[in-house]
């Protein structure tokens, strides 16, 4: 295009052409960042050896923007809502070497496709274990009481009677000396949660593991001795539902665990039991859980994650249930943990871009 032709274009068109020309002439590897990472951003912006393309708004990255800007990228840093599938990989082209997700979960990434295309994948395990375990215990305590009590003072409706707002106690008591905690999934976060529950007088722990994994009897014996538990046992899903006083959902998402906690599962639980989900919303059937709460199959639920989040509105069936405590996916929401997650995601990205070590590579 001649200089005269360029001069005749509108201002916005000239700006776009200038931007395109700049990218074409930039020999540095291009990396696409799907969300501003706040205090961790200097780890990217202060580097002179990468060309950064950052989603400019403080909200979820639009798919159209990502598909347009991923073209020619060597690396991309995504979050859970950003699907990494064939559409995205094809749009990126042959330069794409690494996908780094700021999350422990990776069900939004087509791993077989990544292997086929020889694209490395990074994620952020370990760094959020303690924060999510904290929230898991918090939700168990909150769900054991009547959710309405948390807003009644703010609404100016405070009142009292001997058994108003009562619920099942998390800790052991003289009348309930035996308390069984169940874990759907028994990885790092579940074990950290168990450690926090021991001072409450928990006596029994049961859990389910992946069908593809063997029981770790040595680990279980060591944990049982360490925490002075009467029992720590791997069980099947039916026993987990039937025997848990408080059941923590801490299993990965994906097709294998989709709606694992459904109506059949919930009907087997104790009427005074509590369900806590700080893993993935897709593991729990929301409609079934709402029915279970409404018809009193179980006492209550504490949820950090819900299927379909963040698009959870006031007419959602679980929002309407007074025995359901819901928080907006804040399991890892501490300054320390989110900074550690962002830093790990950046380190994974840079390692993959330059063919080096990735601290947490799948």
Structure confidence by residue, pLDDT tens digits, 8-54: 455 555 545 444 544 555 789 999 999 999 999 999 999 999 999 99
> Which pLDDT belongs to residue 2?
45
Closest CA to 79 of 32, 30, 115: 32
Closest CA to 20 of 61, 51, 44: 51
**358 domain-assigned:** no
For residues 137, 140, 145, 147, the Cα torsion angle rounded to the nearest 10 degrees is 100
Residue 329 among the catalytic residues:
yes
126 vs 17, 38, 278, 281, 331, CA distance in Å?
Answer: 44, 21, 15, 20, 13
What is the mean pLDDT of the segment spanning 335-361? 97
Q: Within this chain, do residues 293 and 180 fall inside the same structural domain, yes or no?
A: yes
How many structural domains is the chain composed of? 2
> Which pLDDT belongs to residue 26?
76
Q: Within this chain, do residues 173 and 63 fall inside the same structural domain, yes or no?
A: no
Q: Going by DSSP bridges, is the β-strand pair 180-184/204-208 parallel, antiparallel, or unpaired? A: parallel
Q: Within this chain, do residues 88 and 204 fall inside the same structural domain, yes or no?
A: no
Cα–Cα distance for residue pair 69/66, rounded to 1 Å: 5
H/E stretch holding 63 reads helix 63-69
What pTM did the predictor assign?
Answer: 0.84
Q: Within this chain, do residues 109 and 238 fall inside the same structural domain, yes or no?
A: no
Cα–Cα distance for residue pair 233/105, rounded to 1 Å: 26
Q: Within this chain, do residues 289 and 152 fall inside the same structural domain, yes or no?
A: yes
Burial of 127 (0-12, 13-18, 19+ CB in 10 A): buried
Q: Within this chain, do residues 149 and 113 fall inside the same structural domain, yes or no?
A: no
Q: Within this chain, do residues 88 and 178 fall inside the same structural domain, yes or no?
A: no
Q: Within this chain, do residues 310 and 167 fall inside the same structural domain, yes or no?
A: yes
Of 108, 204, 316, 329, the catalytic one is 329
Confidence of residue 157 (pLDDT cuts 50, 70, 90): confident
Q: Within this chain, do residues 111 and 140 fall inside the same structural domain, yes or no?
A: no
Cβ(50)–Cβ(76) under 8 Å? Answer: no
SS3 277: strand
Cα–Cα distance for residue pair 193/276, rounded to 1 Å: 12
Q: The domain containing residue 250 runs over which residues?
A: 129-326
Q: Within this chain, do residues 97 and 157 fall inside the same structural domain, yes or no?
A: no
Q: Within this chain, do residues 160 and 280 fall inside the same structural domain, yes or no?
A: yes
């Amino acid at each position: 295009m001649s200089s005269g032709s360029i001069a005749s274009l509108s201002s916005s068109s000239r700006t776009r052409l200038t931007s395109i020309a700049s990218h074409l002439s930039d020999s540095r590897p291009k990396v696409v960042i799907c969300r501003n990472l706040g205090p961790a951003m200097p780890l990217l912006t202060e580097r002179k050896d990468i060309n950064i393309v950052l989603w400019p708004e403080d909200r979820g990255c639009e798919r159209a923007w990502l598909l347009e800007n991923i073209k020619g990228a060597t690396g991309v840093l995504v979050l859970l809502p950003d699907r990494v599938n064939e559409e995205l990989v094809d749009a990126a082209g042959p330069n794409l070497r690494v996908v780094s997700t700021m999350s422990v979960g990776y069900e939004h990434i087509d791993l077989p496709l990544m292997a086929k295309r020889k694209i490395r994948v990074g994620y952020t395990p370990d760094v959020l274990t303690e924060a999510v375990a904290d929230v898991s215990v918090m939700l168990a305590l909150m769900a054991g009481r009547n959710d309405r009590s948390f807003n009644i003072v703010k609404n100016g409706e405070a009142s009292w009677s001997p058994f108003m707002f009562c619920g099942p106690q998390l800790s052991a008591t003289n009348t309930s000396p035996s308390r069984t905690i169940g874990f759907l999934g028994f990885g790092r976060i579940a074990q950290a949660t168990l450690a926090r529950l021991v001072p409450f007088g928990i006596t029994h722990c049961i859990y389910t593991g992946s069908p593809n994994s063997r029981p770790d009897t040595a680990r279980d014996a060591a944990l049982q001795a360490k925490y002075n538990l009467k029992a720590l046992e791997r069980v099947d899903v039916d026993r987990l539902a039937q025997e848990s006083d408080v059941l923590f959902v801490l299993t990965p998402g994906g097709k294998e665990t989709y709606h694992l906690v459904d109506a059949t599962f919930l009907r087997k639980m104790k009427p005074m039991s509590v369900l806590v989900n700080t893993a993935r919303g897709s593991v729990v059937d929301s409609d079934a859980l709402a029915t279970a709460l409404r018809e009193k199959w179980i006492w209550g639920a504490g949820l950090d994650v819900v299927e379909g989040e963040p698009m959870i509105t006031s007419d959602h069936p679980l929002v309407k249930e007074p025995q359901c405590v819901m928080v907006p996916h804040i399991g890892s929401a501490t300054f320390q943990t989110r900074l550690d997650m962002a830093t790990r995601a950046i380190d994974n990205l840079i390692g993959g871009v330059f063919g080096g070590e990735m601290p947490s590579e799948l």
